[in-house]
Structure 1
């Protein structure tokens, strides 16, 4: 590795922008060198806090991407703009970290793929759970064959913030034109990535989607506004090697925090993980001639795991990584999301074309 200082541009100064800037502060040889947001006041406040010159405080995303002094950008904006910003990054040959989901629609994803194939740029998509210690440990177990042949993967992702008692206001996430889909794109996409990460590609899916609360109050108008996206999604699938998958997600689960749990059932053992206990792995096996049931709780050292943004910087510095969620991981994820949506609409199981 060299001694280069990486100048980073941040697009989107909401909570996700703060999250990425905080993580970036822990990565050596990087600095926030420019910022961008449509909110002029936010740009000025954050720019002053960071001591950035006026010329590095952008309102238009194209301007920060085109800045030759910016080595890569981190994009944390609403789903509606993922396509536009990725398209612009490809046009300017600018490395980018982009939040998930990849795009709102398959049409947008297909257009980006065509552009990317003509000019592949370094691109990381924000499937951050790959960088939890428990995910990395289970990945190793699967690759080493410690679980035997995997037969079934089950996952659920539950939160409580959208339950009626909390009177969650209407935001862009409840609007199909802005978000593409609701809970599926928001956190369901992480379940799809986990399945692909541990097992491989989906070959078919069958989905169910529902909207529990069909109106929410838009605080800008004080009026109830129709919700036209899902706030429950469940789906079953088949993955490479005939592995069966069962998945469900919603934010109407009272008593849950950020309950993303994954279980893999293999011929030699079962493993369970939860992102709420990222440094623990629960392994169940049977051993010896009597096939005695053994329950093991494995504790991991989080400090030994490489942070996601560090992996991206190392990749830019010519270091390969088996964990890296690439442009194509984003694209394949979008294919699965679209198949789930299509299946839920007409009740027909969808096969996935890998051409």
Structure 2
């Protein structure tokens, strides 16, 4: 299989789809062989740029998934369609990369996993931060016991784009029927994955959610539309081994760009990382007879980490893959998101078991 060229089908030609195509261009044994989008102009423009024949330019995602000449799918569409696309991929036995969150609801997630267990397919869910150099390095620190027993993980994920001064217009992300939840599904799901990646499964969770701006202008109608999802989510939790966790996320943080920071506190030391500085790790340790304090900034080579889509191709080729977030990672993540939502609604801490 190592000599195979993988024919890739892209569903969704927006910014996410363009990013994935740029990454695919760096993988020598892949090529974009078909595209799909409801926007006919986007299909025409991208199809022309890629010199794709008319029969490989789709407007129906079922058709591109059913195309026997397409080896795997990359899906970058709104949350509403994650379930339908993943379901079809399972039914057709088609390997797929799908963006997070896994689904909008637990009902959708449960149905997908039931189908998957009967007909498993290679699947990667887009928890891309696992593939940052700092994440990979910290994973090794934890695995090697450098920090000692982990006692607490803390994270926040902040952006500013939804603050009132920017007059962010109403989009599908502010609609529960389309998105499932707001900031929690959008970027909070990355915090949940980071906790699972570094520590393990959630066992208890207590959440609080709020909507800062409850109406936004819908440019399609020229009227204000009701926002029925969260602008803020915070949650505390217990993870495997009694590790405590504290997390918050919102896009009302003036002066931030993409501030996703994670800190792990262990018996021997503390480590801090920030996605805005993906090649840095701040490590603080105490050791020796006098428990001497050492503070080190470790600078990493980004080339040392395998890119996410390369890891997926290696996974398909049954080569060594490093951190593939599988369909079950998507499912476990969705279970935690639902527990946070449920807890925020009634104030009751939720227990999770796996």
Query: What range describes the TM-score normalised by the shorter chain of this pair?
Result: over 0.9
Following the alignment from structure 1 to structure 2, what is the Cα–Cα distance between the partners of residues 320 and 218? 47
Return the offset for 1:287: 2.3
Q: Describe the superposition over 1:261-306 as per-residue Cα deviations: whole angstroms up to 9, x where unpaired.
A: 0000000100000000000000001122221211100000101110
State how 1:306-345 maps to structure 2 within 5 Å.
306-345=306-345
1:182 is aligned to: 182
Q: 1:343 is paired with a residue of what secondary structure?
A: helix
1:137 is aligned to: 137
State how 1:1-355 maps to structure 2 within 5 Å.
2-354=2-354
Q: 1:100 is paired with a residue of what secondary structure?
A: coil
Q: 1:216 is paired with a residue of what secondary structure?
A: strand
Q: 1:85 is paired with a residue of what secondary structure?
A: helix
Return the offset for 1:168: 0.3
Following the alignment from structure 1 to structure 2, what is the Cα–Cα distance between the partners of residues 191 and 130? 11
Q: Describe the superposition over 1:324-345 as per-residue Cα deviations: whole angstroms up to 9, x where unpaired.
A: 1000000000000000000000
The structure 1 segments of at least 4 consecutive aligned residues displaced by more than 2 Å after TM superposition are none
Long gaps (5+) in structure 2: none
Following the alignment from structure 1 to structure 2, what is the Cα–Cα distance between the partners of residues 105 and 28? 37
Q: 1:255 is paired with a residue of what secondary structure?
A: coil
Following the alignment from structure 1 to structure 2, what is the Cα–Cα distance between the partners of residues 222 and 298? 51
Return the offset for 1:307: 0.2
Q: 1:173 is paired with a residue of what secondary structure?
A: helix
Q: Describe the superposition over 1:240-272 as per-residue Cα deviations: whole angstroms up to 9, x where unpaired.
A: 000000000000000001000000000010000
Following the alignment from structure 2 to structure 1, what is the Cα–Cα distance between the partners of residues 292 and 261? 26
Following the alignment from structure 1 to structure 2, what is the Cα–Cα distance between the partners of residues 163 and 296? 35
Following the alignment from structure 1 to structure 2, what is the Cα–Cα distance between the partners of residues 191 and 319? 28
Following the alignment from structure 2 to structure 1, what is the Cα–Cα distance between the partners of residues 41 and 321? 39
The farther-off stretch of 288-297 and 151-160 is 288-297
Q: 2:294 is paired with a residue of what secondary structure?
A: strand
Q: 2:284 is paired with a residue of what secondary structure?
A: strand
Following the alignment from structure 1 to structure 2, what is the Cα–Cα distance between the partners of residues 64 and 157? 35
Asked if the contact 2:218/2:225 (under 8 Å) is kept, the reply is: yes
Following the alignment from structure 2 to structure 1, what is the Cα–Cα distance between the partners of residues 27 and 181? 33
Return the offset for 1:45: 1.1
Following the alignment from structure 2 to structure 1, what is the Cα–Cα distance between the partners of residues 343 and 26? 43
Q: Describe the superposition over 1:137-187 as per-residue Cα deviations: whole angstroms up to 9, x where unpaired.
A: 000000000000000000000000000000000000000000000000000
Asked if the contact 2:311/2:322 (under 8 Å) is kept, the reply is: no
The count of residues paired between Structure 1 and Structure 2 equals 354
Return the offset for 1:28: 1.4
Q: 1:193 is paired with a residue of what secondary structure?
A: helix
Q: What is the TM-score with the length of structure 1 in the denominator? A: 0.99
Q: 1:256 is paired with a residue of what secondary structure?
A: coil
Long gaps (5+) in structure 1: none
Q: Describe the superposition over 1:46-84 as per-residue Cα deviations: whole angstroms up to 9, x where unpaired.
A: 111110000000010010000011000000000000000
